[in-house]
């Protein structure tokens, strides 16, 4: 694991937390300048980095993430942000959610949530902060298409957009796998999305739909 975060306190805290859970941190960086070089050399399972990094604190982290994904597709990338940003980070996710995640910084206070997100991106899955998904789902949409969904189907849609598998969603909602599959088919049907058992294609389709 490589941690890139300009705040020394947060960077050290993240490294200590990961170490406590048996995750080796091979490098800690205050900026994104040497990130790609170190990823190529170390080939970590995942990289945890801030979207806004020195020197301009705009999109250095996001650009570094794109470079890592292009050069080392086997390395998962989990972006952190202080703010709910649904522009470029979501567009990057919607292009290819495999091994890519996006969490708000205060989510790192929940160790289980952070570690789950890291494990998912490190194994080629995806992870999107629930508040990011909520913001996307609450935007005004032509025709109010989401109104066609039942409250349970909205829950299922949100969890799919977070990158969770059917098995994980069924556990979260405490329903059987068969019941969950029925909800998923209904969501895809009402939103006119092509049904697919592939988690990556499913997240891509849902995120692309939420961006409309």
Q: In what order do the strands lie in the sheet with 2-4?
A: 27-29, 2-4, 46-50, 76-81, 100-104, 126-128
The pLDDT score that the predictor gives to residue 146 is 79
Token readout for 56 is: 């301009």
Among candidate residues 68, 53, 63, 77, the one with its CA nearest the CA of residue 5: 53
- In the DSSP assignment, the letter for residue 51 is S
Q: Does the pTM exceed 0.85? A: yes
Over residues 1-15, the pLDDT tens digits come to 999 999 999 999 999
> In this predicted model, what pLDDT tens digit does every residue of 139-186 receive, in sequence order?
756 566 778 889 999 999 999 989 998 999 999 999 999 999 999 999
Which pLDDT score is estimated for 144? 65
Q: Which of 12, 78, 14, 19 is nearest to 47 (CA)?
A: 78
Whole-number Å distance between alpha carbons of 143 and 79 = 32
The percent of the chain in helix, strand and coil, each rounded to the nearest 5, is: 55, 10, 30
Find the mean pLDDT for residues 22-36.
Answer: 94
What whole-number distance in Å separates Cα of residue 189 and Cα of residue 150? 13
CA–chain centroid gap for 68, Å, is: 16
Higher pLDDT, 20 or 141: 20
pLDDT of 140: 54
Determine the pLDDT at residue 92.
82
For 77-136, how does the pLDDT look when each residue is reduced to its tens digit (9 = 90+)?
Answer: 999 998 888 788 888 877 888 899 999 998 888 899 999 999 999 999 999 999 988 888
- Does 172 or 194 have the greater pLDDT score? 172
Q: Please tell me which residue, 143 or 137, carries the higher pLDDT value.
A: 137
Taking alpha carbons only, the member of 92, 78, 105, 90 closest to residue 139 is 90
- State residue 67's pLDDT score: 94
> Is it the case that residue 203 has pLDDT exceeding 80?
yes
- Compute the chain's Rg from CA coordinates: 17
Tokens of 82: 């202080």
Q: Pick the residue with more confidence: 109 or 60?
A: 60
CA distance 47 to 11: 12
pLDDT score recorded for residue 136:
83
pLDDT of 199 above 80: no
Q: Which SS3 state, helix, strand or coil, does residue 60 take? A: helix
Determine how β-strand 2-4 pairs with β-strand 27-29: parallel
């Amino acid at each position: 694991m490589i941690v890139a975060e300009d705040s020394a306190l947060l960077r050290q805290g993240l490294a200590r937390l990961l170490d406590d859970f048996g995750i080796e941190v091979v490098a800690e960086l205050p900026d994104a300048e040497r990130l790609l070089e170190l990823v190529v050399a170390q080939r970590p399972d995942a990289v945890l980095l801030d979207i806004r990094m020195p020197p301009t604190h705009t999109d250095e982290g996001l650009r570094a993430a794109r470079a890592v994904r292009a050069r080392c597709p086997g390395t998962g990338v989990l972006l952190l942000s202080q703010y709910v940003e649904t522009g470029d980070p979501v567009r990057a996710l919607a292009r290819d959610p495999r091994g890519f995640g996006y969490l708000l910084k205060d989510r790192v206070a929940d160790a289980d949530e952070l570690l789950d997100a890291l494990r998912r991106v490190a194994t080629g899955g995806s992870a999107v902060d629930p508040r990011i998904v909520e913001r996307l789902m609450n935007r005004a949409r032509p025709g109010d298409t989401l109104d066609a969904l039942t409250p349970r189907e909205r829950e299922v849609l949100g969890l799919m957009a977070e990158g969770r598998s059917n098995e994980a969603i069924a556990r979260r909602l405490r329903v059987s796998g068969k019941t969950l599959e029925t909800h998923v088919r209904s969501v895809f049907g009402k939103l006119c999305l092509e049904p697919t058992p592939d988690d990556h294609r499913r997240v891509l389709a849902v995120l692309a739909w939420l961006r409309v």
